[in-house]
Structures are given as structure tokens and as C-alpha cells.
A = this chain, B = another copy of it.
Amino acid sequence: MTDDRKSAICVLGTGLIGGSVLRAAVAAGYDAWGYNRSEAGTRAARSDGFDVDSDIEAVLRRAAAADALLVVGVPMPALDAILSDVALFAPGCPLTDVVSVKAPVATAVHRHELGAHYVGGHPMAGTAESGWAASTSELFRGAAWAIGVDTGTRAEPWTRVARLALDCGSYLVPVVAAEHDRAVARVSHLPHVLAEALAVAGAAGGDLALGLAAGSFRDGTRVAATAPGLVRAICEPNADALRDALDDALRLLTDARDTLAADGALGALIDAGYSERDRYDTLERWDITGIRPGDHDWLEKLHEAGQRGGVIRELGA
């Protein structure tokens, strides 16, 4: 909190999210570079003027020498391999990630004995596209960026992750892994599954139905355009929480279906949906102030503030 010099950033995996972190970090004045597994992805980033390499050992040795903050941006199935390399070549670097689900990432990080310098992260932004070509330095502007406040998190790496997220234009939502995963099951993973079901049930009406489709279908199916492998990589590691959210949705839809069949009316769902959408539209994100990383009980205090809708818009506020 006292050092205003921007630290080095090393992004591992430069797809849509990781690539956007790299772009945003460079735009914010960080010394930042990255790793991408594919030669094509590396070439695309380099031709855009970014320092991206496909030699993981070289990239990580450089990070270790510079004490760079490592930002893991690979999809979940590639996480283990990347963490093995981190443990081998840069085990002392501060470490965060921008992978959707948090508890499975934390488990993997601890399995690789990288927990001491780890802080979970999850910027709540994205598009239906993927890959470096879709990345942009503005992706995170005005977005929530979930930041881990799990027991044992250390103040120094936490502050570096927080500063990066704020410098990317986001505000911070402090959250512990299990609660994060239950929340995103409802507001990120469930929307994906419902969009897929709507696309299939809509298209079952044939070209006539698709030809009559307008805004409600277009918006309701937008995220179904996400590559299937990516949807699985995002949703399936959160299977338990997603199953609970799906059970809730199934119960609501079954009730509406049954009252429709019995009385020709959709019942309570319509008022409840309107009311909850309004709650979302009018949600107040109040500013957390006066809690400094490293202070007594700072993790518990931030955790509790995050649960009550608090966000952090600047460090040292």
C-alpha cells in the first residue's frame, strides 16, 4: 500500500480474459508479458505488439527474476499443467487467477504447494467470443472483480492483485471461494444452461419460429454462442452449486408450468421475477472503507462487508 511503483505482471494464458488482462495492464503502465501455449495465439499477440511467448520455462524464469505477479488465465482443464510449471520455475511469485470457479482452483493451488502467495480472483466480464482476437484492454472497465479473502490470504500478494484489478478499471468484491462459487452458479453458470435450453426449445419450432424470433430470444440465447468446450470448462467444475441453482430454476418453472396447465395462469413467478430483476437493477454497491490489508481481522471484515454488498473502489480508502 506504500509502494506506488507498479509491479511486473506475467499472464499465463492469453485468451479472451488473460489477453484482456495483459492489454489492460500494459495500458495502465505495468511491465507486463505473457505466455500462450499455441504458436498461433502467440503470433497474434506479438503482431499486436505484446510480449507473449510460448516457452513456459523462459516466461516463468523471467517472472521469478522480476518477482512478477502471476495471473493464471488458462481454462480449468489446463490448470494443473500450468501450476506444475509454476511450482517448478517460479514457486515464490505472488499468484492469482482469472478462472471462473474458485474452490477447485484453490484446491489445485494448494496441491501444488503454491498456497502461501495465492489470492483467488475472478473478473466478472466476458463475451460469447474467446481467444486473443476477442481481448480488449477495456473489458474490465466498470466490472466487478471478485477477490479472495479466504483464511490464510496474505496482505502483500492481496494488495498487488487488488491494485491490478483496480488499474484494469474494475471494482473489487471481496469473497471467499465457496461463497463465490455458489454465487456464480446462480448468476453466471445458470444463465449459460438456461440459454442453451432456450436455444434448443426455440429452434424446435423450426425456421418459422427462428424467423419470428426477436429481442427476447436473441438476448436470452446470447451466451449459447459461447464455444461448448469453454461452457463446460466454466460450469462443470462448479457442478454441486450449479445443480442447486438448476434445482431452484426447475422448481420455479415446474410450478409455473403446473399453474398454467391447471388455471391458464403463470402464477407467482411473474411478479417475483419482475421484483428480483428490479432488485438487481437498483442494487446499491456501497463502498468499503477503513479496512487495511494486514490489519487485525482484515480478511474477516472484508468477507463480511462483501457479503453485505460492499465493494472496494480504491486502496487505502
Contacts and interface: CB of A to CB of B under 8 A. Distances in A.
A155 to B, nearest CB: 22
Interface in A296-317: 306-309, 311
Interface stretch (A88-96, A111-119, A159-167, A185-193): A185-193
B257 A247 contact: yes
Nearest to A264: B239
Contact of A273 (B124, B197, B249): B197
A301 B126 CA distance: 45
A94 B279 CA distance: 45
Given A205-B187, A249-B201, A196 B273 contact: yes
Contact of A194 (B179, B194, B223, B309): B194
Contacts of A266: 193, 231-232, 235-236
A199 B273 contact: yes
A79 to B, nearest CB: 16
B277 A201 contact: no
Given A197-B252, A202-B276, A207-B308, A214 B125 contact: yes
A144 B227 CA distance: 28
A270 B196 contact: yes
Given A173-B208, A211-B311, A309-B208, A195 B223 contact: no
Contact of A210 (B187, B195, B246): B187
Interface string A213-249: 1111111111111111001100110010011011111
Task: Count the copies.
Answer: 2
A279 B216 CA distance: 17
Given A207-B283, A220-B191, A257-B243, A186 B214 contact: no
Contacts of A197: 194, 249, 252-253, 256, 269, 273
A204 B186 contact: yes
Contacts of A219: 191, 219-220, 222-223
A184 B212 contact: yes
Contacts of A195: 216, 220, 273, 277
B269 A196 contact: yes
Interface in A259-287: 260-261, 264-266, 269-274, 276-281, 283, 285
Given A192-B216, A200-B272, A236-B266, 4 more contacts: A126-B215, A203-B280, A219-B219, A243-B257
26 contacts: A124-B213, A127-B215, A173-B212, A175-B212, A185-B205, A186-B202, A187-B217, A191-B219, A192-B216, A193-B253, A194-B194, A194-B253, A196-B273, A196-B274, A197-B253, A197-B256, A199-B272, A201-B252, A211-B311, A220-B223, A221-B280, A225-B277, A239-B260, A243-B260, A246-B253, A246-B256
